[in-house]
Structure 1
Amino acid sequence: MHIGSHLSASGGLLHMGKEALSMDADTFQFFTRNPRGGRAKAIDADDAAALRKLMEEHHFAPIVAHAPYTLNACAAKPEVQEFALQTMKDDLARMEYLPGNYYNFHPGSHVGQGAETGIRKIIDVLNEVLTPEQNTTVLLETMAGKGTEVGRSFEELREILDGVRLSQKVGVCLDTCHVFDAGYDIVNDLDGVLNEFDHVIGLECLRTVHLNDSKNTCGSHKDRHEAAGEGFIGMLALTRVLTHSALKNLPFILETPLDTAGHAQEIAKLRAAASNAG
């Protein structure tokens, strides 16, 4: 079982790897730049090489770079969509210093254009930024469906995947809070939800899981994360996700509202729960 949390990249790449180890984590997630947008710091090639060495020595699972929240690949305003395209191009070029890992992004919001238009725009951006040479897999994240979000259903994600020419360069990140808030009842019917995912998208496309509890009930479309075991999903259901035969070898990333010490305790609690369940 590979589990980690979202870490601040302010101290550098190797610092994040060491911080993950201090929390008994063997994966982690970080923002490629300020989550509200802006220019990214220059890549330190030696720092990246040191992280790669540490990850190899400690048998890390793939790590996840998260695009900024302001990235909207299906924006109505051309300048906003252009920002998404250029940011993704830059981020994917930078990720070549950490080959074999993941780049996750929220598909975006169609802001009144309609889901089909939004899906087409996301496909266009992906077909422009993806290259045969890249060593990073780009992940579409499952969304809660608040407002005009695209990716609120497995079918919408499948439609995007179907339009991407370099299909081997893309996959999906399943967020437990998001799918629960979107109406997929992983508490009472995890097998049914995963069977539906497999039927619509294919479990072979699932590369990582954001393991978050939810402050809201199933189908609320709210997207408000809670610490593991403290929300409406609960520890028992999250443990079933961690230990499910179709998921247990994936990287699990915590995006819960805790500090580093809190995440270390959360990881310990989840590892113990998974061990007891096994």
Structure 2
Amino acid sequence: MLHIGCHLSSTKGFAAMGRQALKLQADTFQYFSRNPRGSRAKAMDAADAAALMELLRSNRFAPIVAHAPYTLNLCSNDPEKRAFAAETIADDLSRMELLPGQLYNFHPGSHVGQGIDVGVEQIADGLNAVLKPEQSTTVLLETMAGKGSEVGGRFEELRAILDRVELKDKMGVCLDTCHVSDGGYDIIHSLDDVLRQFDQVIGLRYLRAIHLNDSKNPPGSRKDRHARIGEGSIGTEALVRVASHPLLRGLPFCLETPNELPGYAEEIALMRKKTAEQEERV
């Protein structure tokens, strides 16, 4: 069964997001943990969070994904910015305990000239400072396109971070189809090989979510610009193979395509139809 959803606005509250997801025929979704370009966080409403948890249980949702702000950088060359990122993540994880068992995704960061090795070490240090044995949330490192000084454009970089994290059972990875294609992994023609490489380097046990996006750029461009399903260089056929792959069955798939809600509804319906057809042929 395909668990698919999209990115929703949290301005009206958690239960409202769940109801919106149901209207879109979704059974997972992603939302920003706070202002994606800033640091402000809306106060958590325990009753609202409990209402969402009941909706998730009663409708058999896959885990949902909270996305950290893009501005956080655990491997900045500025110690104050690194400390701010760690404090923000720690606050988000504390607040997420009102939504037990869900996922928290973040971009590993940019080393801004310090080098990959230093960036990896600083990211791991930041995670070791905020992860707690008692937390129920799994923290996801997102695969990146490798533009500029981004950390996470290669599977080996994510593995190096995981190797240095003490509480590995609190960690996972979110694979973004646009990012890995732009990063040079051939998910169009060699999906099985890419997943085999992921397993060999990181381990499929760490793969906990998928960002399902087409790309406005050719494979290997290292640029990262998302496109609607079927309107980019990856294409519908290849993305259907991702969504219907047996090794990925049961994971939450979240659309981050440039869409309003009607467009997301169309893409969710399209992917459900196409993956069902694909599974019938196998």
Letter of the 1:79 partner, please give it.
E
Which residue is 1:89 aligned to? 90
Deviation for aligned residue 1:144: 0.2
Which residue is 1:54 aligned to? 55
Query: Does residue 47 of structure 2 align to residue 43 of structure 1?
Result: no
Which residue is 2:258 aligned to? 257
Deviation for aligned residue 1:249: 1.3
Deviation for aligned residue 1:82: 1.1
Q: Distance in 1 between matches of 2:114 and 2:209?
A: 30
Which residue is 2:101 aligned to? 100
Deviation for aligned residue 1:225: 0.2
Conserved in 2, the CA contact under 8 Å of 1:66 and 1:103? yes
Which residue is 1:242 aligned to? 243
Query: Does residue 146 of structure 2 align to residue 150 of structure 1?
Result: no
Q: Distance in 2 between matches of 1:29 and 1:39?
A: 18
SS of the equivalent of 1:252 reads strand
With structure 2 as the length reference, what TM-score do the two structures score?
Answer: 0.98
Residue ranges of structure 2 left out of the alignment (5+ in a row)? none
Conserved in 2, the CA contact under 8 Å of 1:89 and 1:129? yes
Q: Distance in 2 between matches of 1:69 and 1:173?
A: 15
Deviation for aligned residue 1:191: 0.3
Which residue is 1:129 aligned to? 130
Q: Distance in 2 between matches of 1:270 and 1:245?
A: 15
Letter of the 1:179 partner, please give it.
V
Letter of the 1:13 partner, please give it.
F
Residue deviations 1:66-90 (CA, integer Å, cap 9, x gap)? 0000000100011111110110010
Deviation for aligned residue 1:33: 0.5
With structure 1 as the length reference, what TM-score do the two structures score?
Answer: 0.99
Moved over 3 A (4+): none
How many residue pairs get aligned? The number is 278
Letter of the 1:258 partner, please give it.
N
Conserved in 1, the CA contact under 8 Å of 2:103 and 2:139? yes
Query: Does residue 81 of structure 2 align to residue 65 of structure 1?
Result: no
Conserved in 1, the CA contact under 8 Å of 2:62 and 2:250? no
| Residue identity (%) | 62
Deviation for aligned residue 1:248: 2.0
Which residue is 2:187 aligned to? 186
**What value does the CA root-mean-square deviation take over the aligned residues?**
0.5
Residue deviations 1:133-154 (CA, integer Å, cap 9, x gap)? 0000000000000110000100
Q: Distance in 1 between matches of 2:146 and 2:276?
A: 33
Query: Does residue 162 of structure 2 align to residue 161 of structure 1?
Result: yes
Residue deviations 1:205-242 (CA, integer Å, cap 9, x gap)? 00000000000111000100000111000000000001
Q: Distance in 2 between matches of 1:39 and 1:83?
A: 12
SS of the equivalent of 1:96 reads helix
Letter of the 1:199 partner, please give it.
Q
Which residue is 2:273 aligned to? 272
Residue deviations 1:7-43 (CA, integer Å, cap 9, x gap)? 0111100000000000000000000110012220110
Which residue is 1:20 aligned to? 21
Conserved in 1, the CA contact under 8 Å of 2:39 and 2:88? no
Conserved in 2, the CA contact under 8 Å of 1:184 and 1:219? yes
Q: Distance in 2 between matches of 1:165 and 1:31?
A: 26
Matches within 5 A, 1:195-206: 195-206=196-207
Q: Distance in 2 between matches of 1:88 and 1:163?
A: 18
SS of the equivalent of 2:113 reads coil
Conserved in 1, the CA contact under 8 Å of 2:70 and 2:107? yes
Q: Distance in 2 between matches of 1:38 and 1:139?
A: 19
Q: Distance in 2 between matches of 1:37 and 1:128?
A: 22
Residue deviations 1:131-179 (CA, integer Å, cap 9, x gap)? 0000000000000001100001000000000000000000000000000
Q: Distance in 2 between matches of 1:77 and 1:120?
A: 15
Conserved in 1, the CA contact under 8 Å of 2:181 and 2:187? yes
